[in-house]
Amino acid sequence: MIFKSSGHRLIGALHKPSDMKAPPSVVLVLHGFPGMAPILSDVVSSLCQAGFAPMSFHYKGCWGSGGSYSFLGALRDTQKALDLVVDRKDLDVDNLSIIGHSFGGLIAILMAAKNEMIKNVAALCPVANMKAELSTIQAKNILQKGLPFVSGFPMRKAVKEWETLSRQYEPIDYVEKIAPRPFLLIHGDKDDIIPLSCSKILFSKAFEPKKMSIVSGADHIFAGNHKKTIELIISWLHSNVN
C-alpha cells in the first residue's frame, strides 16, 4: 500500500488474516533506524497468522519511501499511518495496538502517550534516554553506519535533530502516560546496541499494567531468538486485546 506524509509517498503493507470472521484488530509495527530488523518481518507474518491485522511501513527516506529521512519526520509519518488505519471500516480499531523496535520503540511510546486510541503498547529494546545515549561513542557509530541507508540525512543534521528530539520527547518523561493501558517491554540481555538498563528504567517509570520480559542470550535484533520473542508478543496481545 502507498500513502502520503508531508506530500511524499510512503511504502507500507497491511496484512489481514485469510480466515476473517470479524474485523481483525490492528497492530501498527514500527521499525528502528535505519530500517526493518529481520525479526519484525517475522512478527508481521506471525501476527497475521494469529488473527491480527499488522501494518508496517517505511519512514520517509527509508527503503524506497520518498522524501528525506529525519527523526522528527518519522514521528509525523507514524501519525499519518495511524490516521490511515483508524479510518478503515474493515478493521477493528477499537483494540489498536502498537509495537516498535529500537528507535521504533521510542516512537511507539511517544505515539501512545499522545494518542488514546492506541490501547496496547509494546517496545522491543527501546531507546529510553536520548540525551544520554547520544553521549556514547557507540551511539554515534550506529548513526554513522545507518546514514548511508537513508536519504537526505547527513551526520551533522542527525546529531542536531537527535538533540532537538531529546529536549522535546524523552521517552522516560512520557512512558508514565501510557497507563492505564497495557505496556510490554522486551529486551535481550546480550544487547550491545541499546543496553538492558534502558528497558529497566522505562519499566521503573511506567505505571501498571506493565510487563517486562528479558530474553536470555538475545542481542539487539533477537538473532536466534525470534520464536521465543514473538511468542511473548502474541501471548501478551491475546491477554489484552478484547
How far apart are the C-alpha atoms of 159 and 125, rounded to whole Å?
A: 21
Per-residue model confidence as pLDDT tens digits over 139-192:
666 777 788 888 988 888 888 888 888 888 899 999 999 999 999 999 999 998
pLDDT band at 137 (very low <50, low <70, confident <90, very high): low
The average pLDDT across 32-47 equals 91
Question: Would you say residue 11 has pLDDT above 80?
Answer: yes
Core vs surface per residue 174-186: b (16+ CB within 10 A) or e: bbeebeebbbbbb
The average pLDDT across 97-113 equals 97
Higher pLDDT residue, 18 or 202?
A: 202
How many structural domains are present in the chain?
Answer: 1
How far apart are the C-alpha atoms of 186 and 122, rounded to whole Å?
A: 8
Distance of CA 124 to the CA centre of its chain: 7
Q: Are 122 and 99 in contact (CB under 8 A)?
A: yes
Q: Burial, 47: exposed, middle or buried (Cβ in 10 Å; 0-12, 13-18, 19+)?
A: buried
Question: Would you say residue 126 has pLDDT above 70?
Answer: yes
Closest among 128, 5, 170, 123 to 73, alpha carbons compared:
5
pLDDT band at 19 (very low <50, low <70, confident <90, very high): confident
Higher pLDDT residue, 127 or 54?
A: 54
Residue 162 pLDDT: 85
CATH number of residue 56's parent domain: 3.40.50.1820
The share of the chain scoring above pLDDT 70, in percent, equals 97
Per-residue model confidence as pLDDT tens digits over 171-185:
999 999 999 999 999
The secondary structure of residue 182, as a DSSP letter, is -
Please give the mean pLDDT across all residues of the chain.
Answer: 93
How far apart are the C-alpha atoms of 133 and 102, rounded to whole Å?
A: 12
What's the predicted TM-score (pTM) here? 0.94
Residue 235 pLDDT: 98
Residue 135 pLDDT: 66
Question: Would you say residue 136 has pLDDT above 80?
Answer: no
Q: What range defines the domain where residue 199 resides? A: 2-240
Residue 138 pLDDT: 62
Number of Cβ within a 10 Å radius of residue 135:
10
How far apart are the C-alpha atoms of 7 and 22, rounded to whole Å?
A: 34
The average pLDDT across 51-71 equals 95
